[in-house]
Structure 1
Amino acid sequence: MIDVEDLIELVRNYNPHSNARLIRDAYGYARAMHEGQTRYSGEPYFSHPVEVAALLTEQQMDDATVVTALLHDTIEDTKSTYGEIADRFGAEIAELVDGVTKLTNLELSSAETKQAENFRKLLMAMSKDLRVLLVKLADRLHNMRTIKHMRPEKQVQKARETMEIYAPLAGRMGMQWMRDELEDLAFRVLNPEARNSIMRRFLTLQKDTGDVIPRITNDIRDVLERAGIEAEVFGRAKKPYSVWRKMQEKELSFSRLSDIYGFRVITGSEDDCYKVLGAIHRRWRAVPGRFKDYISQPKSNGYRSIHTTVSGRDGKRVEVQIRTREMHEVAEAGVAAHWSYRDGERVENPFAVDPAKWLASLTERFQQAEDHDEFMEHVKLEMFSDQVFCFTPKGDVVKLPRGATPIDFAYAIHTRIGDSCVGAKVDGLRVPLWTRLRNGQSVEVTTAEGQRPQATWMDIAVTGRARSAIRKSLRDEHRDRYVKLGRELARVAFEHVGKKATDKALSTAAKTLGLKDADELLARLGSAELAGQTVIEALYPELVNTKVREEVEPNRAVIGLAEDQLPSLAPCCQPVPGERIVGITYRGRGVVVHAIDCPALVDFDKQPDRWIDLHWHTGPHAPIYSVTLDVTLLNDPGVLGRICTLIGEQNANISDMYFTDRKPDFYRMHIDIEVRDAEHLHNVMTAVEADSDVAALERLRDENRKP
């Protein structure tokens, strides 16, 4: 494990004005907080935040980010609190640590719909300060480097989450080196046989041809020296996952795959970049269609470089990237270059993207998505696609993902242009709407009044913006018919479980499923985008979920207590399994368990010695946890009985009920129910709220009910 003085020295190597006392204090505090905790490998847990901090020094990050790395697990995994960190290290660091904690709590690898909602939350957590994500990426990189110590099923979950979310995010931020390593580490877990096969082929190739990288590197250096250009040249073999992905995309065998080697030329100026390009093209034959000039057309994350592929020694294709030193810093650090140091000073890199503007560009399109599926469609296209640059007839540049068509181009200009598109010209020639656009082409869209999007366009368009607009237009066109059919399908689905498809029930189901209103739900039912079973499960999961699992014994429900400590649940917040909890010790009364957001915990902020870090057992619990519901009901015969039946159908027991207010038309009451966990409580409340005679419903939490 890296010693504190060594860590300080790593920071001082690029920032001599670093606050050593702050880093030393954070190191000691985090070490004390994590005392006694171990990793899966058996190492002290504190070794992990130290390694994360060291990773961030490699990116030359500021003191606040390095300190955040040391503290990033304290709020989540120890008795430390936001208030304590703010008092000791300042509001900026406390906000960063809190942001990393929120990212950690997002279950990004869950089901698609939930994943989309969590991705929205991820973008919100990033929006205040992008350094939160830089710490999280470094945290994920170290966890992936040590993933072999986890259980096999946990390895697969983390690897898939890394491949789908964190690696693309690193790439989108311009941190290509981190994306490459994250992908390869995940590839090692998800498809070890494919990775080992590629590694064996690399070794065979090296045995047959020798190490070609030094030879080609020297060839490039010789060419540049003869041209009188000063530059640094580096070569490398591409990562196994990058090679495997190219094999899959191009459907080629390893032996037929070109440019498995990559070379970088770092120059002193932008003019030299183009001189290098000319020298290389004069010496070797350029491969048609494999040239990209990201200096004149930078990527949205600030990346600038010239890419060209040439036929080199022995006819082998090699990719050469040409950039200046400042461009290289952005290419390596991406958005992180905004905080980097050079020669001991914070120097503004002219090519580094302002993080706030970068985040705004990332989220701009996402806000237009009407539902979770469309949102994830935007996310995946933004994260995974290379871009092509096309021109309008006026010379404006339109950025599109690879494989885009004139329809995507039309919608990128304006939704109205896309909806009324009837044809297109590319470089002056009329082309079909399914034509794939290439870099540098000029596109002219022909429109006609009264034209509407066709259903076949869904198979042609590739951008989320275009597909979303087409889908919306098609839905609007057939909406009335779909709503009418959907209402009949809903009636049948509800009657199947003995319920009525009332407007209130449909509105509640729409809210639960993240849809705008009941009509939207009915339209999706009628268009077969949504199944009736899904609506029933959203409202009455207990009626369709019959699987029985072994329950956790009540005396083992809370984990983190000593053998002689007896827990009791705080009446003020009534915590249930599935919620984050903390324990407060009382002399002679054991430990009282509170929900982490309980207002009563404010009274103990200055008594940290009484706090105990607790969590619930992960298995299924018995329905014994009491929660009070505050319900306002219509004062009609049979309403109360129907509500009690609804609660019983959700397998929840009513332990008490009492009226708090009576009016001629409505009455308000408190109902004490016993549930298994937070999900069970949510199911009960959703079923009750769906009843048309329930005017208001909320969970009662009363800080006046002291333990």
Structure 2
Amino acid sequence: MSNTAPEIDLEKERKEILNAFKGLLRASKDKRDKEDTRLIRKAFDVAVEAHKDMRRKSGEPYIYHPIAVARICAEEMGLGPTAIICALLHDTVEDTHITLEDVEDLFGPKVRMIIDGLTKIPEVFDENLSIQAENFRKMILTISDDLRVVMIKLADRLHNMRTLGSMRYDKRLKIASETLFLYAPLAHRLGLYSVKSELEDLALRYKEPQIYSELEEKLEKTKDVRNRFIRRFIYPIKVALEKEGYTFEIKARTKSISSIWRKMQKKGIPFEEIYDLFAVRIIVDVPEADEKAAAWRIYSLVTDFYQPNPDRLRDWISTPRANGYESLHTTVMSPTGKWVEVQIRSKRMDEIAEKGFAAHYRYKESKGGDTKFDRWIAEIRDLLENTEGGNALEFIDEFKLNLFTDEIYVFTPKGDLRVLPNGATTLDFAFDIHTQIGEKCLGAKVNNKLVPLSHLLKSGDQVEIITSSKQKPKEEWLKMVTTARAKQKIKMALKEERRVIGGDGKEILERKLNQYNIPFSSENITFMEKYFNVPSATDLYFLIAKGKINLKRLKELELKNGLLQLPMEKIKDSREKKSAIKEINLKEDTLIIGEDFKNMDYKMAKCCNPLPGDDIFGFITINDGIKIHRDNCPNATQMMSKYAYRIIKARWKNQYTQEREATLRLIGHDDLGIVNNITDIISKQQRVNMKSISFKAHDGMFEGIIQVLVYDKEHLEQLISKFELVEGVKTVERYSVEKE
């Protein structure tokens, strides 16, 4: 009996795998011919064989993952047979004996190129290299060749997020952080709104489980009331549309949990005060030529019943968003006094909004010409070609700037429309027109009024750039621009200027080394870069020319066989630090606060001031030991996604008691005597010392920032609950600063 049990299990699994594959074939039936089906079956057979001995963390056969990813590509992204084949094979080169050459022999060069873009770079330990950043950069390099690489990677990430529950807690946090930091904005930029929302929701579920489940519960409790309201709201619109003879569909879409939470944080309001929990979407089936007229006619019908808010009208039909999104949005007042957002769009527009890039390209032929989406791809190509030195982290920062959410529409003096991100300045506009115009930009006329370089532009502005042949880019310009293009062009111009000035610095250094009888060699220059803590020889020469480096410090060094080196005691100190870092096993080790840890210093991070009882992690810094951060520190998402190789598990030792600083933010109604009531609580609360307190009032509301000394999280929570009882106080929360 015991001998046959595994056989039965394997047989059952085989059937389940075949069923999953049949589900994939059903999901892609409209997208494939006979030859496509043959190749998809072949890819499935290759993947099953390659992954046959592998299992996921959940214990199920690994092949379920590629099948699920392929199904997301077909069903939720509208991608075709090539993408399905690549999704089935996406982990084979990375995790099995199959090579890129094998893939090319079996499926051709296109599939090989996509699989190569999806294969991770082998891991190496280098404290200056972020593997995640390098992998992300490698994937983005393929955007301008084939966007399907990124689409499959997003499908892969979505399935990993859906099955994240089987991973270790610290791994879940890292993956969720990386998803929020890079993949959700990328999905947004590609117009995949449902993928973006789900990624953000899943990330919130694992990063803030309590908040997520509370909001989920509240949405569930209010569901029946909401549905009744929606039925009453849409009834007269439905009757009017039927009377006009339209073929249409009306959907009500509830806001995602993550966007509700974002709004609560941004506006400092509770769930109950969020009025736009859902949007009503009217989708009309009309020929493309009649779409605009139909949308405005339906707008007219809706506003016959409900009063519109003129400030909340968004026409993305006349000027679509850069990712191809088209829709007409209005917010109207319902009879019960609630504002409701109504989105009006055609069936074609709805498909583009749901399926993003794939649908966009399917409809592109009928539109003809260059689209703003293609312009974005061209910008990425430009960004890739001009990234010097291949610094992946810098590249990611630049690339993230290109994932802007909102856009503004501005005009040249001749009336040409330019699309820029929200928050763009006249200097961004100048670089958007041409690099040389940006570099020589002195100021601008916006709507015929003179404005400075840092002037923020608004939709509808007409901008004329004023240039001067004497003007050249300056360091402070980097703070005046938001677009990746402008930032990069300014950096390139500054680098060139640094190189010229660096020529003088090089001469000064040569003279000084000659004076000290030190050979001017590449080994000695590399040593000086590390010694003076500068990233490159160009920076070293530039800082010498500017008098920012004290060359007399070279006397502190020793010369051995013509090579500069640190005196013995400094070498010893440096070696001890490095060996301590190398001894850390990120998977196995846990730092316990209150105990020594491998001769390494650790201290609490100032950005989030962790308290005993908080969930924490350690971050290995280059020169400053280990910093302890809270799991929900404002900087945690960025650290975990960019520098996961420097994150170490940490926990509190039970008896670790020491007074620690915590900052609270209180918001409420500016009533007489409220400050006295608050300070009174602190003075009466046992063992709480106040370090500082500041209050500011505006429009009948106040905001107070209070720094106190407490022993642990429980101690702080007692204080918070006392503050919450004060008449007039609306919210009390832990307050963290964004940057350390």
Q: Are positions 1:24 and 2:41 aligned together?
A: yes
AA in 2 matched with 1:466 = A
Aligned to 1:439: 459
Aligned to 1:463: 483
Instruction: Choose the corresponding residue for 2:210, options 193, 213, 216.
Output: 193
Instruction: Choose the corresponding residue for 1:243, options 260, 263, 272.
Output: 260
Residue 194 (structure 1) shift: 3.0
Structure 1 residues 22, 347: closer, same or farther in 2, change over 3 A?
farther
Structure 1 residues 66, 467: closer, same or farther in 2, change over 3 A?
closer
Query: 8 Å contact 2:426–2:463 — kept in the other structure?
Result: yes
Query: 8 Å contact 2:502–2:538 — kept in the other structure?
Result: no
In 1, the alpha carbon distance for the partners of 2:478 and 2:584 equals 47
Instruction: Choose the corresponding residue for 2:78, options 51, 54, 60.
Output: 60
Instruction: Choose the corresponding residue for 1:299, options 293, 305, 321.
Output: 321
Instruction: Choose the corresponding residue for 1:426, options 429, 440, 446.
Output: 446
Q: Are positions 1:414 and 2:434 aligned together?
A: yes
Normalised to the residue count of structure 1, the TM-score between the two structures is 0.65
Residue 97 (structure 1) shift: 2.8
Query: 8 Å contact 1:108–1:115 — kept in the other structure?
Result: no
Structure 1 residues 365, 222: closer, same or farther in 2, change over 3 A?
farther
Q: Deviations over 1:659-703 (max 9, x none)?
A: xxxxxxxxxxxxxxxxxxxxxxxxxxxxxxxxxxxxxxxxxxxxx
Query: 8 Å contact 2:188–2:196 — kept in the other structure?
Result: yes
In 1, the alpha carbon distance for the partners of 2:224 and 2:413 equals 53
Taking the TM superposition and a 5 Å limit, the aligned residue runs for 1:145-184 are 145-184=162-201
In 2, the alpha carbon distance for the partners of 1:455 and 1:339 equals 40
Residue 98 (structure 1) shift: 3.1
Instruction: Choose the corresponding residue for 1:43, options 52, 60, 72.
Output: 60
Say how many residue pairs are matched. 539
In 2, the alpha carbon distance for the partners of 1:528 and 1:130 equals 48
Taking the TM superposition and a 5 Å limit, the aligned residue runs for 1:254-653 are 254-267=271-284, 268=286, 269-270=290-291, 271-337=293-359, 350=367, 359-370=377-388, 372=391, 375-431=395-451, 433-452=453-472, 457-470=477-490, 502-506=521-525, 518-523=537-542, 545-547=578-580
Question: 3-state SS of the aligned residue for 2:324?
Answer: coil
In 1, the alpha carbon distance for the partners of 2:240 and 2:510 equals 73
In 2, the alpha carbon distance for the partners of 1:544 and 1:487 equals 35
Aligned to 2:592: none
Aligned to 2:118: 100
Q: Deviations over 1:475-516 (max 9, x none)?
A: 777888788889999999xxxxxx9884454369889x9x99
Aligned to 1:570: none
Structure 1 residues 31, 375: closer, same or farther in 2, change over 3 A?
closer
In 2, the alpha carbon distance for the partners of 1:88 and 1:216 equals 56
In 2, the alpha carbon distance for the partners of 1:531 and 1:385 equals 45
Q: Deviations over 1:401-451 (max 9, x none)?
A: 111222222232234433444443333344455443222222233344534
In 2, the alpha carbon distance for the partners of 1:163 and 1:107 equals 25
Structure 1, 189-198 or 206-215: larger mean CA deviation: 206-215
In 1, the alpha carbon distance for the partners of 2:125 and 2:365 equals 34
AA in 2 matched with 1:445 = I
Structure 1 residues 18, 301: closer, same or farther in 2, change over 3 A?
farther
Query: 8 Å contact 1:217–1:235 — kept in the other structure?
Result: no
Question: 3-state SS of the aligned residue for 1:323?
Answer: strand
Structure 1 residues 118, 7: closer, same or farther in 2, change over 3 A?
closer
Structure 1 residues 170, 509: closer, same or farther in 2, change over 3 A?
farther
Structure 1 residues 460, 80: closer, same or farther in 2, change over 3 A?
closer
In 2, the alpha carbon distance for the partners of 1:442 and 1:220 equals 38
Query: 8 Å contact 1:213–1:261 — kept in the other structure?
Result: no
In 2, the alpha carbon distance for the partners of 1:530 and 1:148 equals 52
Taking the TM superposition and a 5 Å limit, the aligned residue runs for 1:212-223 are 212-223=229-240
Structure 1 residues 486, 258: closer, same or farther in 2, change over 3 A?
farther
AA in 1 matched with 2:432 = A
Aligned to 2:664: none
Q: Deviations over 1:229-256 (max 9, x none)?
A: 4432211111111222233344444344
Structure 2 alignment gaps of length 5 or more: 1-15, 513-517, 554-563, 586-644, 647-740
Residue 164 (structure 1) shift: 1.5
Instruction: Choose the corresponding residue for 1:88, options 106, 111, 115.
Output: 106
Root-mean-square deviation (CA, aligned residues, Å) is: 4.6
Query: 8 Å contact 2:69–2:87 — kept in the other structure?
Result: yes
Query: 8 Å contact 2:445–2:465 — kept in the other structure?
Result: yes
Question: 3-state SS of the aligned residue for 1:41?
Answer: coil
Query: 8 Å contact 2:114–2:146 — kept in the other structure?
Result: yes
Structure 1 residues 159, 381: closer, same or farther in 2, change over 3 A?
same
Structure 1 residues 159, 110: closer, same or farther in 2, change over 3 A?
farther
In 1, the alpha carbon distance for the partners of 2:153 and 2:125 equals 13
Question: 3-state SS of the aligned residue for 1:233?
Answer: strand
Query: 8 Å contact 1:199–1:240 — kept in the other structure?
Result: yes
Query: 8 Å contact 1:366–1:378 — kept in the other structure?
Result: no
In 1, the alpha carbon distance for the partners of 2:55 and 2:550 equals 46
Aligned to 2:557: none
Query: 8 Å contact 2:324–2:360 — kept in the other structure?
Result: no
Question: 3-state SS of the aligned residue for 1:404?
Answer: coil
Query: 8 Å contact 2:502–2:539 — kept in the other structure?
Result: no
Structure 1, 416-425 or 241-250: larger mean CA deviation: 416-425
Normalised to the residue count of structure 2, the TM-score between the two structures is 0.62
Q: Deviations over 1:331-358 (max 9, x none)?
A: 2222222676xxxxx9956489699765
Structure 1, 124-133 or 216-225: larger mean CA deviation: 216-225
In 1, the alpha carbon distance for the partners of 2:452 and 2:483 equals 18
Question: 3-state SS of the aligned residue for 1:546?
Answer: helix
Q: Are positions 1:78 and 2:96 aligned together?
A: yes
Question: 3-state SS of the aligned residue for 1:383?
Answer: coil
Q: What is the identity percentage for the equivalent residue pairs of Structure 1 and Structure 2?
A: 35
In 2, the alpha carbon distance for the partners of 1:119 and 1:79 equals 24
Question: 3-state SS of the aligned residue for 2:318?
Answer: coil
In 1, the alpha carbon distance for the partners of 2:218 and 2:91 equals 41
Residue 92 (structure 1) shift: 3.4
Instruction: Choose the corresponding residue for 1:234, options 251, 255, 260.
Output: 251
Aligned to 1:649: none
Structure 1, 300-309 or 502-511: larger mean CA deviation: 502-511
Query: 8 Å contact 1:39–1:45 — kept in the other structure?
Result: yes
Query: 8 Å contact 2:66–2:88 — kept in the other structure?
Result: yes
Aligned to 1:589: none
Query: 8 Å contact 1:403–1:462 — kept in the other structure?
Result: yes
